[in-house]
Protein backbone atom coordinates (compact mmCIF):
# COMPACT_ATOMS: atom_id res chain seq x y z
CA UNK A 1 0.00 0.00 0.00
CA UNK A 2 1.40 3.40 -0.86
CA UNK A 3 2.14 5.99 1.79
CA UNK A 4 -0.56 8.45 0.67
CA UNK A 5 -3.26 5.76 0.93
CA UNK A 6 -1.93 4.79 4.36
CA UNK A 7 -2.09 8.41 5.45
CA UNK A 8 -5.68 8.75 4.18
CA UNK A 9 -6.68 5.58 6.02
CA UNK A 10 -5.03 6.81 9.21
CA UNK A 11 -6.88 10.14 9.11
CA UNK A 12 -10.16 8.42 8.26
CA UNK A 13 -9.85 6.05 11.22
CA UNK A 14 -8.97 8.94 13.52
CA UNK A 15 -11.87 11.14 12.37
CA UNK A 16 -14.36 8.26 12.31
CA UNK A 17 -13.80 7.66 16.01
CA UNK A 18 -13.28 11.28 17.13
CA UNK A 19 -15.69 12.15 19.96
CA UNK A 20 -18.48 14.67 19.29
CA UNK A 21 -17.72 14.84 15.57
CA UNK A 22 -20.75 14.53 13.34
CA UNK A 23 -20.48 13.68 9.64
CA UNK A 24 -23.02 15.71 7.69
CA UNK A 25 -23.85 14.69 4.16
CA UNK A 26 -24.40 17.49 1.66
CA UNK A 27 -28.02 17.99 0.71
CA UNK A 28 -29.85 20.43 -1.56
CA UNK A 29 -30.29 22.95 1.28
CA UNK A 30 -26.56 22.99 2.02
CA UNK A 31 -25.62 23.16 -1.66
CA UNK A 32 -28.04 26.05 -2.27
CA UNK A 33 -26.69 27.96 0.74
CA UNK A 34 -23.13 27.26 -0.41
CA UNK A 35 -23.83 28.73 -3.83
CA UNK A 36 -25.18 31.90 -2.21
CA UNK A 37 -22.23 32.17 0.18
CA UNK A 38 -19.78 31.56 -2.65
CA UNK A 39 -21.25 34.42 -4.66
CA UNK A 40 -21.67 36.80 -1.73
CA UNK A 41 -18.23 36.29 -0.20
CA UNK A 42 -16.09 35.30 -3.21
CA UNK A 43 -15.27 31.94 -1.65
CA UNK A 44 -14.06 28.78 -3.29
CA UNK A 45 -16.63 26.01 -3.60
CA UNK A 46 -15.03 23.86 -0.85
CA UNK A 47 -14.95 26.84 1.53
CA UNK A 48 -18.55 27.71 0.72
CA UNK A 49 -19.64 24.12 1.37
CA UNK A 50 -17.86 24.12 4.73
CA UNK A 51 -19.45 27.44 5.70
CA UNK A 52 -22.92 26.37 4.57
CA UNK A 53 -22.61 23.10 6.48
CA UNK A 54 -21.52 25.00 9.60
CA UNK A 55 -24.62 27.18 9.38
CA UNK A 56 -26.89 24.20 8.54
CA UNK A 57 -25.64 22.28 11.56
CA UNK A 58 -26.08 25.29 13.87
CA UNK A 59 -22.49 24.77 14.96
CA UNK A 60 -21.37 27.05 17.75
CA UNK A 61 -18.05 27.79 16.02
CA UNK A 62 -15.71 26.80 13.24
CA UNK A 63 -12.11 25.99 14.17
CA UNK A 64 -9.81 26.47 11.22
CA UNK A 65 -6.56 27.91 10.05
CA UNK A 66 -8.21 29.74 7.15
CA UNK A 67 -9.47 33.27 7.86
CA UNK A 68 -11.75 33.21 4.79
CA UNK A 69 -14.58 32.03 7.06
CA UNK A 70 -14.45 35.27 9.03
CA UNK A 71 -16.18 36.92 6.06
CA UNK A 72 -19.42 35.09 6.85
CA UNK A 73 -21.69 36.73 9.41
CA UNK A 74 -23.19 34.27 11.83
CA UNK A 75 -20.20 31.94 11.94
CA UNK A 76 -17.95 32.36 14.93
CA UNK A 77 -14.55 31.50 13.54
CA UNK A 78 -11.52 30.57 15.60
CA UNK A 79 -8.40 30.89 13.46
CA UNK A 80 -5.65 28.87 15.07
CA UNK A 81 -2.84 31.00 13.63
CA UNK A 82 -4.34 34.05 15.35
CA UNK A 83 -4.16 32.55 18.84
CA UNK A 84 -1.56 34.02 21.17
Has residue 2 got a pLDDT over 80? no
pTM of the model: 0.78
Residue 40: predicted pLDDT: 95
> What is the C-alpha separation between 4 and 1, in angstroms, rounded?
8
Confidence at 1, pLDDT banded by 50, 70, 90: low
> What is the C-alpha separation between 84 and 6, in angstroms, rounded?
34
Residue 23: predicted pLDDT: 87
Looking at the DSSP assignment, which residues form a beta bridge with residue 78? 63
Residue 84: predicted pLDDT: 84
Amino acid sequence: MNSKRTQVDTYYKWLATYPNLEWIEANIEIVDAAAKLRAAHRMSTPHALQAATTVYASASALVTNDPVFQRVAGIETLVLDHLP
